Amino acid sequence: MSIRSFEQHTPHIHSTVYVDDTALVIGDVEIGEDSSVWPMSVIRGDIQRIRIGARTSIQDGAVIHVTHDSRFCPGGQPTLIGNDVTVGHKVILHACTIEDYCLIGMGSIVMDKAVVRSRVTIGAGSVVPPGKVLESGFLYVGSPVKQVRPLNERELEFLEYSAQNYRRLRERHLQMTGALILTGDAAAPSSEPPPPAPRSRKRRSAPPKRG
């Protein structure tokens, strides 16, 4: 994995978090327990802070960034992600807030100062415009995103299931990583030369008997 400090800020990642070797985490970033960061994702907290809660998955190719302090955005704008959130493949979250138990569909974009309230599903490929607030308990789809309908009981249950599913998958990857390390250590070649192979002993034939 690549975890980098930026100026005075170093990422704080709970010991139970799985971060893939190909992911990149930079700067003022905190990630809570049992969360996971999957291949090729980037979490860049160089010019503002990023906070990710517990049991949240940041899936393959996702990009999480922030907005810097300027006269256009005094103080800058962080990205805040709650607990039990599923951030789908290739999602972009930029200086926004995602509350607990949300599912952000694959390829979606959530822009500056948008707020996604708890227990929301955003359909794949959707775009949440800057400053928009998504009401809790609904499905949103489109570009720009529109409220479609309330989530049914099964869909609300799935939000919790998704978070727990990635929590379990995180455990499997951590176990595999540990197994690979042990295997590598056990299989490491010795620095000492191997002992010489024993010489084969030739069997002498008995002399012929004289009559």
Tens digit of each residue's pLDDT (9 = 90 or more) over 46-75:
999 999 999 999 999 999 999 999 999 999
Which phi and psi (to 5°) does residue 80 adopt?
A: -120, 125
The whole-angstrom separation of Cα 145 and Cα 127 is 6
Which phi and psi (to 5°) does residue 37 adopt?
A: -125, 115
Which phi and psi (to 5°) does residue 79 adopt?
A: -115, 125
Q: What percentage of the chain exceeds 70 in pLDDT?
A: 83
b/e sequence 119-131, b meaning 16+ C-beta within 10 Å:
bbbbbeebbbeee
Mean model confidence pLDDT for the chain? 88
User: Most confidently modeled of 166-170, 188-192, 202-206?
Assistant: 166-170
Q: How confident is the model at residue 202 (pLDDT cuts 50, 70, 90)?
A: very low
pLDDT for position 207: 52
Domain ranges of the chain: 2-157
Choice between 187 and 151, residue whose per-residue pLDDT is larger:
151
By CB atoms closer than 10 A (0-12, 13-18, 19+), residue 67 is buried
pLDDT for position 182: 37
pLDDT of 152-165, one tens digit each?
999 999 999 999 99
What pTM was computed for the model? 0.83
**Architecture of domain 2-157 in CATH?**
3 Solenoid (2.160)
Q: Which of 59-63, 86-90, 133-137, 174-178 has the lowest mean pLDDT?
A: 174-178
